[in-house]
Structure 1
Amino acid sequence: MSQAIVAPSKLCGSVTVPPSKSVAHRAILCAALARGISRITHVADSEDMRATLGALEELGVQVQREENVILIDSSGKWEDEAEIDCLESGSTLRFLIPVLAALGISAKLTGQGRLPYRPLNTYLECLPPHGAILKTHGGLPLEIDGGLIPGEYELPGNISSQFITGLLLALPLLPGDSRIRLTTPLESAGYIDLTLSVLHDFGIHIRSVEGGWEVPGWQQYQPRDYTVEGDWSQAAFFLAAGALGGDISIHGLRRDSAQGDRESAALYKRFGAQVEWQGEVLTVSGAPLCGIEIDAAQIPDLVPVLAATAALAKGRTVITGAARLRLKESDRLEAMTKALTTLGVAITQKPDGLVIDGVPKLSPGTVDGYNDHRVVMALAIAALRGSHSTVITDAISVAKSYPDFFKEYNRIGGKANVI
C-alpha cells in the first residue's frame, strides 16, 4: 500500500497542466474510426490512456507512441472479435460499447478495481431494442454481439455523460439517420459540448435539437493532426492551492475551452481568491476565502477539490447536484466526508451533495484515499493548511490521471513524502 505524508506548506510558482484526458480519449477514438493516419500530440501517459490505446490495439488498430505523440493508423480492418481489458477507465468502457455494437464486433469487456461494478443499465436498456446483444450478470464482464441499427435512442440526461458520448461516437457510423432523445434535463453538458467539438474536428456533423441531437448516418471520420489542450479539471487542484495561500501561474489552458471544468476559475473567484488572466497564463493567489453555494450538476469532477477548499473557507459551503459522484472510482461524497471529518471539519452528507463548515486549519490524521485519484489529490491540497502532517493512503492512485502530480506539487514548494 502506498501513502503520502504531507506536511503544511504553500505552493508558489509556475505549472503547466497536463493534457486533457477527456479530450485525448475522444480524439484517439475519433482517429481510430477514421480511415488513414492521424497524429495526436500533447498526450500524457496515464493508466486510463493505456486502457484506451490497449483496447484499440486489441481491435487491430496500429498504435505508435513517441513520447507525448500518438500515431493512429486505422487504414486496416478492425478485428471481428476481441477481448478487451478496460482497466479502471469508465471512459474507455462506456465509449467503446456502442462503437463496437455499431461496427458489429463481437467482444468481451472486462475491467479492474470498481469498474466491473459501475452501472451500465443505460446501455442495457437503450441498445438491445436497436439490435445489440449484451450479455452480463449486472456489470463486467460484458459480452457484445449483434449490430446497431438507426433509430431513436432514448435515455435520461441526468446520467454520466459518458453514455451520451458513446452514442454520439457510434451513431454517425450507422446506415441511416438516428436521434438521441433525453427524457430528463442534461447534466454535465460541458462534456457533451467537448464531444461535439472533437467530433466536428474529425469531420462528423451532429445537429443539436430541443431535447437531444439528430445524428445523420453514413458519415466517415476523417484522419487529421490534432493537438490536445490542457486539462481544466487538473488545473483546479492548482487553483485551489493558490487560493489556500499560494501564488501560482498556470500555463497550457484555453480560455475558450469547451471543457465544463473551466468554470473552476469563476468558482475560485467566488470563494474570494485572486484569479486573473495575464495573457494566456491564469494566475491565482491566496486571499481570505468564504463559503459559497455550488450547483455541481455540470461539474461533478470538481467536487472533491471544491470540498477540500470549502473545508478551509470561513463559513458554510453547500454543494448540490452531485449524486452521480457516488458511482465514480469511489463514492466521492462519502470519501470526502469521512476524510474531512477525520481532519476536524464539520461536514454533512446529503443525498446529492455536501454541507461544509470551514475551519482555519486541519487537525492531523490519517485518511483513506479510497484508491481514487481525485480524492487523493484533493486531500493533498487540503493538507497544505494542516496544523501538522496529514497521511493519505493510496497515493499511487494519482497515476490513473496525473502520474506526475506529487512531483509537480513538491517542485513548487509542497512537502509530500510518497512512500
Structure 2
Amino acid sequence: MNIQITPKPLKGRIPSISSKSHAHRLMIAASLCEEPCQVHISDMNQDLEATQNCLMQLSDESPVLDCHESGSTLRFLLPIAMALKNQASFFGSGRLPERPLSPLKEELEAHGCTFTTETDISFPPFDGSTLIYTGTGRLKGGAFQLPGNVSSQYITGLLFALPLLKEDSSITLTSKLESSGYVRLTLEVLECFGIRIRQEFSKNPKREQETLYSFVIKGNQKYKSPGEVTAEGDWSNGAFWIVADALSSFSQRTSEPSVSCLNLNKNSAQGDKAILSFVRAVRQTKKSKEKLVFDASEVPDLVPILAVLAASREGITEITHAGRLRIKESDRLATVHELIGSLGGDITELPEGLVINGTGKLRGGTVNGHNDHRIVMSAAIASILCTEPVIILGAEAADKSYPKFFEDFTRLGGEFHVL
C-alpha cells in the first residue's frame, strides 16, 4: 500500500497500545505454566501473532515454528524449544532468515544442541517462509557466556529457558549490557511467574568503568500462574505520538500539549520511556544551535523517530552507539539516512550512528518504507515538519507492530489517501 500524506499538525488524545516487548514475555511465561493464566493484550500485531502461533505448536513432539519476521519470537523461542524438545524446526520470512543468531547459536551448541539447515519436511509448511535452522538435542545447563552488546534478546531467551533444565546454570556477560531495560523487563516477568534468578555484578578488568552482569539460575524451577496479567502500555510506539506532540507544538508555536498518549507507565522497565528526556532536551535547545548527542545503546528502536525529532531543531544532533540497527528489519542506519534525505533533510550516516544538521523543517517527498514498520511510522510523523506532501511506499509495514497506526493517525487529524 502506497499512501500520500498531507502535512499538518496533529492534535488529540490517543490510548497507548499494549507493549509488544511486555506482551511477548507474558505470553511465553503463561504458556510455560501448568495452571492456566489469562494474558490481557489490548492490541495484537503480526509479531505477537507469530509468538502466539509458535507457542501453540510447542505442544507437538517435534514442533515446526514459523516466526514470520519476528526477531523476538525466534531469539526467545530458540533456547526455550530446545530446553523442551529433542527436535524443533524454525522458519522465518522477510529479512529474518538473514539476521544473525551468533553467538547464541554457538552457546546452545556447546550445551547439547545441534543446528542444521536441512529438514526432513518434504514441502514448505508456510507460504513465503524459509527454513532458518532445525535443532536437535536437548539443551543442557551449565555456564553460558554472551556479550552484552549484541542482542538483549539472546539473554532473555536463555533466562526463560534455563530454569526449566535439570542442571543449575549461569549466564556471564563478557561486555557491557546494552538495552538493559529489556532484560529488567524479562526479570520482572519471570519474578511474577515465580522464577528466581540471582544477579551478580563485577567490574570489567579491561574497562574498570564498566559493570559486567552475571545471572545465576537454579534448575528444576516451575512457572507458577499468577492467574491473570496485563501487558502495559508501549513506550516504543508511544514515542511516535510523543514526538508528534513536540513537532505539532513547534509548528504552532505553542507550549501547550497537542497530542497526548495515554496509559504509559513512567515507572516501567521499558527503556524507550527515555523519549521523554530526549524531547525535553530538544525543546530546551531548539533555537540555541547547541550540539546534542543521543546515546542509542539502551534505546535502539527509538533511532528512526529520534532522527525526525533531531530534524525539528536548528543545529547538529549526533546519534551514537547505534551499530546494532544494521541487523533490524532493514539496515536502519541506511534507511533512516535515506528517509531524512528523501524529505530534504541534511543527514550523514556513520558506521555506528547518524549526524543530523537540523533546520527545523523538511521539504517532503517520497520515502521507501523498506518493509520496516519503524521507518514507515517515522515518515508519517515527519510529515508534520514538511511543506509538501509525503508519499510512503509500502505503508502496510506498520502492521508488524502497530496495525492501527494509520487509524490513530487519522483520529488525531492526520490526512492521507491511498495511491
Q: Give the Cα–Cα distance (whole angstroms) in 1 for the partners of residues 267 and 365 of structure 2.
A: 40
**1:176-325 correspondence to structure 2 within 5 Å:** 176-210=167-201, 211-224=213-226, 225-246=228-249, 247-272=258-283, 292-325=292-325
**1:348-363 correspondence to structure 2 within 5 Å:** 348-363=348-363
After superposition, give the CA deviation of every residue in 1:120-172 in whole Å (9 maximum; x if it has no partner).
121221111111111138x9421011111111101111111111100000001
Q: Give the Cα–Cα distance (whole angstroms) in 2 for the partners of residues 207 and 417 of structure 1.
A: 53
Query: How many angstroms does 1:288 deviate by?
Result: 5.9
SS in 1 for 2:148: coil
Query: How many angstroms does 1:364 deviate by?
Result: 2.7
Equivalent pair of 2:197/2:215 in contact (CA under 8 Å) = yes
**Match in the other structure for 2:16:** 17
SS in 2 for 1:329: coil
Query: How many angstroms does 1:6 deviate by?
Result: 1.2
**Match in the other structure for 1:414:** 414
Q: Give the Cα–Cα distance (whole angstroms) in 1 for the partners of residues 189 and 199 of structure 2.
A: 15
After superposition, give the CA deviation of every residue in 1:150-201 in whole Å (9 maximum; x if it has no partner).
1110111111111110000000101121100111111100100010011111
User: Alpha carbons of 1:18 and 1:136: their partners in 2 closer, same or farther (altered >3 Å)?
Assistant: same
Query: How many angstroms does 1:107 deviate by?
Result: 1.0
Indicate whether 1:28 and 2:27 are aligned: yes
SS in 2 for 1:223: coil
**1:20-99 correspondence to structure 2 within 5 Å:** 20-59=19-58, 78-99=59-80
User: Alpha carbons of 1:273 and 1:371: their partners in 2 closer, same or farther (altered >3 Å)?
Assistant: farther
SS in 1 for 2:110: helix
Equivalent pair of 1:47/1:399 in contact (CA under 8 Å) = yes
Indicate whether 1:143 and 2:95 are aligned: no
User: Alpha carbons of 1:273 and 1:25: their partners in 2 closer, same or farther (altered >3 Å)?
Assistant: farther
**Match in the other structure for 2:102:** 121
Q: Give the Cα–Cα distance (whole angstroms) in 2 for the partners of residues 289 and 148 of structure 1.
A: 56
**Match in the other structure for 1:7:** 6
Q: Give the Cα–Cα distance (whole angstroms) in 2 for the partners of residues 175 and 19 of structure 1.
A: 34
**Match in the other structure for 1:134:** 115
Q: Give the Cα–Cα distance (whole angstroms) in 1 for the partners of residues 77 and 348 of structure 2.
A: 37
Equivalent pair of 2:117/2:133 in contact (CA under 8 Å) = yes
SS in 2 for 1:119: coil
After superposition, give the CA deviation of every residue in 1:1-28 in whole Å (9 maximum; x if it has no partner).
x112111111111011100000000000
Query: How many angstroms does 1:362 deviate by?
Result: 1.4
Query: How many angstroms does 1:97 deviate by?
Result: 0.4
Normalised by the length of structure 1, the TM-score is: 0.89
Query: How many angstroms does 1:271 deviate by?
Result: 0.9
SS in 1 for 2:325: helix
Q: Give the Cα–Cα distance (whole angstroms) in 1 for the partners of residues 393 and 288 of structure 2.
A: 28
Percentage of identical aligned residues? 43
One-letter amino acid of the counterpart of residue 337, structure 2:
T
One-letter amino acid of the counterpart of residue 267, structure 1:
F
Indicate whether 1:107 and 2:98 are aligned: no
After superposition, give the CA deviation of every residue in 1:60-115 in whole Å (9 maximum; x if it has no partner).
xxxxxxxxxxxxxxxxxx22211111110111101000001111341111111000
After superposition, give the CA deviation of every residue in 1:295-314 in whole Å (9 maximum; x if it has no partner).
00000000000001112211
Q: Give the Cα–Cα distance (whole angstroms) in 2 for the partners of residues 124 and 227 of structure 1.
A: 32
After superposition, give the CA deviation of every residue in 1:209-251 in whole Å (9 maximum; x if it has no partner).
1231111111100123001100000110011101112411221
Q: Give the Cα–Cα distance (whole angstroms) in 2 for the partners of residues 302 and 326 of structure 1.
A: 14
Q: Give the Cα–Cα distance (whole angstroms) in 1 for the partners of residues 150 and 190 of structure 2.
A: 21
Q: Give the Cα–Cα distance (whole angstroms) in 2 for the partners of residues 354 and 21 of structure 1.
A: 26
Q: Give the Cα–Cα distance (whole angstroms) in 2 for the partners of residues 289 and 218 of structure 1.
A: 58
RMSD of the TM alignment (CA)?
1.6
SS in 1 for 2:115: strand
SS in 2 for 1:230: coil
Normalised by the length of structure 2, the TM-score is: 0.89
**1:378-389 correspondence to structure 2 within 5 Å:** 378-389=378-389
Q: Give the Cα–Cα distance (whole angstroms) in 2 for the partners of residues 353 and 136 of structure 1.
A: 33
Tell me which stretches of 4 or more aligned residues in structure 1 moved more than 3 Å: 287-291
After superposition, give the CA deviation of every residue in 1:297-335 in whole Å (9 maximum; x if it has no partner).
000000000001112211000000100000000001100
Equivalent pair of 1:117/1:140 in contact (CA under 8 Å) = no
User: Alpha carbons of 1:252 and 1:105: their partners in 2 closer, same or farther (altered >3 Å)?
Assistant: farther
Alignment coverage as a number of residue pairs:
387
Query: How many angstroms does 1:416 deviate by?
Result: 2.4
**Match in the other structure for 1:74:** none
Query: How many angstroms does 1:289 deviate by?
Result: 8.6
Of stretches 246-255 and 370-379 in structure 1, the one that deviates more from structure 2 is: 246-255
One-letter amino acid of the counterpart of residue 141, structure 2:
P
One-letter amino acid of the counterpart of residue 13, structure 2:
S
